[in-house]
Homo-oligomer: A and B are copies of this chain.
C-alpha cells in the first residue's frame, strides 16, 4: 500500500498565526483566554488548555482578562462588549477574514449577500459588520423572480469556488450591477484542489480535522466524490479494516490540523501496513507530498 499526502494540506497561515499569538500572550500574562475555541480541533484546544489558555464562550462574562479573538473573527458587538468590560483584546482574526469583514462594512450602500453557513462564527462575524440588508445565502437558493438594481456578494473564506460560481451564475440575470468579492482564501482553494487531485487517484482518502471544522467537512465531501473518504480527528480512530483492498491511500487535512497530527496518522497507517511500498530512498522522509495533478 502506498501513502501520499496531498500538497497544501493542514495548518493554514491564519491558524498558525492565531496559535502563536495565543502562546505569546500566555508567556506575558496569567489570565489568558480565547473567546470560543481557538481553532476547530479538539486535541489542539486541549493542549492549549494544558498550557493555561482557557476557553470562554460568552463575551459578556469575561472581565479584566487578556482575550484572544480566534482566526474566524468575532462580531462587532462582541468585540465592543469585551472592550467595554475592561479586557485586553488580542485580535488574531485571520487577515483574510478581516478583509472580508472590512469589505462588508465598506459596502454599506449595497445589499450584501454572504455565501456561507449562517451558523459558522466567521459568517456571523462578517454579517455583524453589514447593513440591515446583509444576508447569508447558499448557492442552492432560488432567486427567481427577484430583481436588484445592485448587489454585492462576498464569501465565507472556506467556501468552494464552485459554489461561488454557482451563486453568481444564478444572480446575474436578476441584477443590474453585481459586485463580487472573491474572499475565498487561496489556501482553502489550493487545499481543496490538491485533495481532489489526489482523491481521483486514491482508493481511500483520510481527511484529518475536527468534526466541528467546516473546511474539513467540505474537504471530506469533495474527496468522497472521487474516492472512499474517511474523516478522523486523531490517529487513534484508524483500524486495519479501513484499509482492506486499498492500494493507494491519500491523506489530507483541514486548516486547523497541525503537522504533528498528520505525522501521527501517517505513522499509524505505516504501523497497520508494515509492508508499505514507499519508493526506495524516500524511507527517511516521513511524508512526501504530491506536487502536481
Contact = CB atoms under 8 A, between A and B. Distances in A.
A224 interface: no
Contacts of A161: 172-173
Interface string A146-167: 0000000000000001001100
Contacts of A165: 169, 172-173
A131 interface: no
A222 to B, nearest CB: 16
A181 B173 contact: no
Interface in A169-209: 169, 172-173, 175-182, 189
A211 B96 CA distance: 52
Contact of A168 (B169, B181, B189): B169
A57 B172 CA distance: 37
Contacts of A164: 172
Contacts of A175: 182
A176 B181 contact: yes
A113 to B, nearest CB: 14
A179 B179 contact: yes
A177 B179 contact: yes
A131 to B, nearest CB: 19
9 contacts: A165-B169, A168-B168, A168-B169, A172-B180, A176-B181, A177-B181, A178-B179, A179-B179, A180-B180
Interface of A: 161, 164-165, 168-169, 172-173, 175-182, 189
